[in-house]
């Protein structure tokens, strides 16, 4: 996510490092690079211009902090400006005090509305709401089928024209859908509208009528993160003609430059509420401007990482593991268990990108993660007997051969897993030592001093 | 017929023209002389058309140099130069394809399925017998969407169950086409982000299956690109090209946007020619891309 922009910006700053004092020319040279980076990331041309201007002004106007080197100061300013550009605070869905809350999803064709509808329904269902999805796209062939499929996966009912007993008219479907939701005591209605061009008058009119008839609490514009300079126009036009309350940015899992994200917020002043980061239904996340900004600048996003870990790691299991580590009983079974838990947190590559400094490692090719490698490891461990997992020392040559055959791998692979296990075990032991020290409060990280 | 699509072409480009050439002309009129300020504004104009900073810089570099060398002083005389520069980059000697199999690829949501319907419609109009292969076995209801089109167009569709191996679908489709005497097979594939290595592998496998069945010249690989896409389109083109050898670009939704400048970047940075442009929602609205016509249409209706 935002990788290209991130790399480019870090390159720009690398040249400032090691300079004791920054002259105006140094700053200008760096800012020229920043501008290039922003433009390559599809940040709107005018937004890029004013961004660079305000960074320049602040960098030259003395905001001298003794604790920072000049380069760090510029990065700090860019970080703050980026955060400001993306909207400071995270903004969630505003729910209606008298349910059901109605959310209308709008956007261009192909921006990902239907998939997003399913993702949003799942996310909010997991937060304890009881949503329904309303299929108001009567134009695209099979759009209703797609929403039904997505709804099934999300465990959320889908209301269609046929089920509601109304004509295939978007406005009527939406209205009937809300009525039906009220009757069945649902507290959240998500309406999937047909994709349309912002310049299509009659289609935009239809949306206006839909809005008037359903008075939604949220009108969310779904925007493809790969959109170019047009993104700003799309957002502006939808907002002027319809009034939108927020933006959902999709397809951020590619190498999308995401410049649209930066621009849309700056131009419309409407918050980005969620970002779509994958094809699976669980791949929708709340948008945190400051975290995103530090990720762009290669400063990592430890907060999200911690949150993710808290959500997906079983506390009880973690406690058990700690016990076992202490008594030196960490086995291959625990090892595979750990792998599974980490994988539950999300794609490895994404997790790594949240750790400060990894962006650079990745660029030099030192951090190539292959998700399939994990599958292989799991297969190997699953091919062992229980006895072997508890006591790997007994795994001799012939056992290795058997395990390799059983898991469809080679003996070398089995050897590697066993070695990795030994290393992990050693590392775990050290870490549990660190933890003991931490709890006593006498540990100081060198980089926090 | 020819006049018809010419009309479509011009009409579809109306927005691009308004966004680009009208502003170009007012910019040139506002400047009495060629100076750095003018180039800066030209830069802004090209950037806003999604030409991208790299190609824009390069374009302006040669423009600057030529203006100097040819001692051009009036800003209005920069237009023919700019036209030439654009045309240079867009013109490609692409071999004419008479494809038996056309593989359609692209990221999610660019309009692959709709483009397939339009392409099938074109082929049908030329008297061909068309067969569609539903090799998008991933997206919910993708097969249904394609089968709706197949019904409307009255063409055969080969499909498997959702989640089936797309290569198997393609294999069957080619066999079926031969058995039924169809001379065009259009393959719909699942939208995939070019960054997903395993999905790109899947695509390579599909291509290999086709290569084993038909000769190189009989297989066309079209990358569908949404005209509203920004610089990411260049990366898409590059990676899809590396994976499956893209023979042409289809630029969709060009009617919707004042941009589309990214094709200039794709052509000059990746070297894949544009084959078709999508200019509207009707079945007729897919036009073969003609660089000369495109550039002329871009600058048309203006005078110094």
In a domain, B300, yes or no: no
- Nearest residue of A to residue B257 by CA position? A230
Q: Per-residue b/e over A276-286, b at no fewer than 16 CB within 10 Å?
A: bbbbebebbbb
Distance CA B304, CA B292 (A): 20
Residues B180 and B286 in one domain: yes
Highest mean pLDDT among A182-186, A329-333, A441-445, B41-45: A182-186
What residue spans in chain A does CATH classification 1.20.120.140 cover? 3-86
Mean residue pLDDT across chain B: 87
> Confidence band (pLDDT; 50, 70, 90) for A3?
low
Residues B54 and B105 in one domain: no
pLDDT at A298: 62
CATH of the domain at B286: 3.40.50.300
| B256/A199 CB distance under 8 A | yes
The reply to whether B195 touches chain A by the CB within 8 Å rule is yes
Residues B225 and B124 in one domain: yes
Distance CA B296, CA A361 (A): 47
pLDDT at A444: 40
Cα angle A88, A91, A97; round to 5:
150
| B145/A140 CB distance under 8 A | yes
* Lowest model confidence (mean pLDDT) among A180-194, B168-182, B287-301: B287-301
The reply to whether A283 touches chain B by the CB within 8 Å rule is no
The reply to whether B194 touches chain A by the CB within 8 Å rule is yes
For residue A94, give the 3-state DSSP assignment.
coil
Residue that terminates a domain, selected from B35, B67, B90: B90
Whether the predicted pLDDT of A250 surpasses 70: yes
Distance CA A90, CA A178 (A): 28
- Nearest residue of A to residue B55 by CA position? A40
Distance CA A275, CA A283 (A): 8
pLDDT at B1: 43
Q: What does DSSP assign to residue A392? A: G
- Nearest residue of B to residue A370 by CA position? B197
* Lowest model confidence (mean pLDDT) among A195-209, A332-346, A435-449: A435-449
Query: Which H helix or E strand runs over A53?
Result: helix A45-60
* Lowest model confidence (mean pLDDT) among A234-248, A365-379, B18-32: A365-379
pLDDT at A301: 60
pLDDT at B251: 92
In a domain, B169, yes or no: yes
Å between A254 CA and nearest CA of chain B: 6
* CATH architecture entry for A3-86: Up-down Bundle (1.20)
**E strands present in A139-245:** 158-159, 188-193, 218-224
pLDDT at A216: 96
| B50/A108 CB distance under 8 A | no
Residue that terminates a domain, selected from B90, B118, B144: B90
Q: Which residue has the higher pLDDT, B218 or A41?
A: B218
In a domain, B174, yes or no: yes
Residues B123 and B260 in one domain: yes
In a domain, B301, yes or no: no
What residue spans in chain A does CATH classification 3.40.50.300 cover? 101-297
What residue spans in chain A does CATH classification 1.10.260.30 cover? 305-448
Q: What is the pLDDT of residues B184-217, one digit of tens each?
A: 999 999 999 888 888 999 999 999 999 999 988 8
Q: Which of B20, B44, B54, B109 to mutate to test the interface with A (most CBs of A within 10 A)?
A: B109
CATH of the domain at B75: 1.20.120.140
The reply to whether B49 touches chain A by the CB within 8 Å rule is yes
pLDDT at A136: 94
Residues B190 and B240 in one domain: yes
Q: Which residues in B lie closer than 8 A to residue A199 (C-beta atoms)?
A: 15, 256
Whether the predicted pLDDT of A431 surpasses 80: no
Considering only residues 79 to 108 of chain A, which have any Cβ-Cβ distance to chain B shorter than 8 Å? 108
Residues B172 and B68 in one domain: no
In a domain, B269, yes or no: yes
Residues B261 and B113 in one domain: yes
pLDDT at A180: 95
| B193/A230 CB distance under 8 A | no
Closest CA to B199 of A371, A218, A16: A371
Mean residue pLDDT across chain A: 81
How many residues in total does chain B contain? 304
Residues B46 and B9 in one domain: yes
The tally of CA atoms less than 13 A away on the side-chain side of residue B81 is 20
Name the fold adopted by A305-448.
Answer: 434 Repressor (Amino-terminal Domain) (1.10.260)
| A226/B107 CB distance under 8 A | yes
Å between A111 CA and nearest CA of chain B: 6
Considering only residues 352 to 381 of chain A, which have any Cβ-Cβ distance to chain B shorter than 8 Å? 372
In a domain, B56, yes or no: yes
Q: Which of B106, B140, B143, B250 to mutate to test the interface with A (most CBs of A within 10 A)?
A: B140
Whether the predicted pLDDT of A363 surpasses 90: no
The bridge status of strand A101-107 relative to strand B248-252 is unpaired
pLDDT at A59: 81
Residues B193 and B244 in one domain: yes
Residues B69 and B133 in one domain: no
Distance CA B24, CA B299 (A): 9
Residue that terminates a domain, selected from B90, B115, B133: B90
Å between B213 CA and nearest CA of chain A: 30
At the top level of CATH, the class of A101-297 is: alpha beta
For residue A103, give the 3-state DSSP assignment.
strand
Query: Which H helix or E strand runs over A174?
Result: helix A170-183
| A233/B231 CB distance under 8 A | no
Taking one residue from A and the other from B, the number of pairs with CB-CB distance under 8 angstroms is 121
pLDDT at A177: 95
Beta-carbon contacts of residue B19 (< 8 Å; ≥ 6 apart):
B48, B49, B257, B258, B259
The reply to whether A50 touches chain B by the CB within 8 Å rule is no
- Nearest residue of B to residue A199 by CA position? B256
Q: Is residue A252 a contact partner of residue A258, using CB atoms and an 8 Å limit?
A: yes
Q: Is residue B173 a contact partner of residue B158, using CB atoms and an 8 Å limit?
A: yes
In a domain, B168, yes or no: yes
| B230/A197 CB distance under 8 A | no
Å between A251 CA and nearest CA of chain B: 8
Domain that holds residue B20: 2-90
Residues B148 and B283 in one domain: yes
| B229/A228 CB distance under 8 A | yes
Residues B128 and B74 in one domain: no
Q: Which of B16, B43, B55, B141 to mutate to test the interface with A (most CBs of A within 10 A)?
A: B141
> Confidence band (pLDDT; 50, 70, 90) for A303?
low
Q: How many domains does chain B have?
A: 2
């Amino acid at each position: 996510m935002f990788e290209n922009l991130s790399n480019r910006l870090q390159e720009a700053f690398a040249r400032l490092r090691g300079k004791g004092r920054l002259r105006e020319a140094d700053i200008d040279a760096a800012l020229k690079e920043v501008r290039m980076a922003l433009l390559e990331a599809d940040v709107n041309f005018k937004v890029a211009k004013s961004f660079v201007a305000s960074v320049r002004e602040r960098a030259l106007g003395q905001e001298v902090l003794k604790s920072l080197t000049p380069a760090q100061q510029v990065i700090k300013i860019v970080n703050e400006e980026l955060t400001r550009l993306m909207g400071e605070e995270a903004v969630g869905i505003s729910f209606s005090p008298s349910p059901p809350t109605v959310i209308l999803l709008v956007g261009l064709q192909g921006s990902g509305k239907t998939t997003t509808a399913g993702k949003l329904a799942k996310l909010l269902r997991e937060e304890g709401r009881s949503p329904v999805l309303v299929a108001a796209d009567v134009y695209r062939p099979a759009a209703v089928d797609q929403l039904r499929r997505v709804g099934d996966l999300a465990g959320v009912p889908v209301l269609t024209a046929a089920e509601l007993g109304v004509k295939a008219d978007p406005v009527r479907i939406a209205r009937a859908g809300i009525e039906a939701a009220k009757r069945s005591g649902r507290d959240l209605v998500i309406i999937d509208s047909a994709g349309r061009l912002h310049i299509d008058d009659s289609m935009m009119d239809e949306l206006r009528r839909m809005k008037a008839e359903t008075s939604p609490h949220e009108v969310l514009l779904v925007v493809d993160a790969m959109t170019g300079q047009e993104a700003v126009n799309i957002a502006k036009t939808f907002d002027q003609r319809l009034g939108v309350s927020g933006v959902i940015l999709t397809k951020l899992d590619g190498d999308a430059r995401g410049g649209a994200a930066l621009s849309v917020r700056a131009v419309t002043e409407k918050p980005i509420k969620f970002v779509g980061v994958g094809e699976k239904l669980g791949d929708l996340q709340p948008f945190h401007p400051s975290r995103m900004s530090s990720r762009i600048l290669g400063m990592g996003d430890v907060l999200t990482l911690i949150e993710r870990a808290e959500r997906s790691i079983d506390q009880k299991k973690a406690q058990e593991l700690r016990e076992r580590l202490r008594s030196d009983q960490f086995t291959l079974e625990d090892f595979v268990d750990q792998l599974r838990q980490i994988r539950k947190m999300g794609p490895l590559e994404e997790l790594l990108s949240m750790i400060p400094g990894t962006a650079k490692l990745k660029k030099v090719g030192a951090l190539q993660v292959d998700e399939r490698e994990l599958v292989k490891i799991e297969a190997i461990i699953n091919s062992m007997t229980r006895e072997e997992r508890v006591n790997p020392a007994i795994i001799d040559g012939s056992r290795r051969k058997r395990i390799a055959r059983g898991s469809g791998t080679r003996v070398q692979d089995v050897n590697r897993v066993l070695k990795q296990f030994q290393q992990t075990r050693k590392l775990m032991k050290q870490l549990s030592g660190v933890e003991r020290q931490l709890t006593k409060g006498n540990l100081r990280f060198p980089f926090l001093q | 017929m020819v006049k018809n699509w010419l009309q479509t072409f011009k009409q579809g480009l109306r927005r691009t023209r308004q966004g680009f050439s009208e502003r170009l002309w007012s910019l040139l009129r506002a400047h009495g002389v060629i100076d750095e300020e003018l180039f800066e504004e030209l830069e802004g104009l090209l950037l806003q058309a999604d030409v991208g900073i790299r190609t824009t810089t390069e374009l302006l570099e040669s423009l600057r140099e030529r203006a100097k060398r040819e001692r051009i002083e009036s800003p209005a005389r920069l237009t023919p130069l700019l036209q030439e520069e654009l045309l240079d980059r867009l013109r490609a000697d692409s071999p004419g394809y008479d494809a038996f199999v056309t593989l359609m690829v692209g990221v999610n949501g660019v309009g692959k399925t709709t483009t397939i319907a339009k392409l099938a419609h074109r082929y049908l109009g030329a008297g061909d017998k068309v067969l569609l292969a539903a090799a998008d076995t991933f997206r919910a209801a993708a097969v249904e969407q394609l089968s709706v089109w197949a019904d409307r167009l009255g063409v055969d569709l080969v499909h498997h169950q959702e989640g089936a191996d797309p290569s198997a679908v393609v294999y069957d489709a080619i066999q079926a086409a031969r058995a039924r005497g169809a001379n065009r097979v259009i393959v719909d594939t699942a939208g995939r982000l070019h960054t997903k290595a395993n999905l790109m592998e899947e695509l390579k496998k599909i291509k290999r299956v086709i290569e084993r069945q038909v000769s190189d010249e009989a297989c066309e690989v079209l990358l569908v690109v949404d005209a509203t896409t920004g610089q990411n389109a260049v990366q898409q083109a590059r990676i899809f090209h590396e994976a499956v050898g893209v023979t042409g670009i289809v630029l969709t939704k060009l009617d919707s946007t004042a941009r589309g400048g990214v094709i200039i970047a794709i052509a000059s940075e990746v070297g894949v020619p544009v084959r078709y442009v999508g200019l509207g929602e009707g079945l007729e609205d897919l036009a073969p891309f003609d660089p000369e016509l495109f550039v002329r249409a871009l600058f048309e209706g203006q005078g110094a």
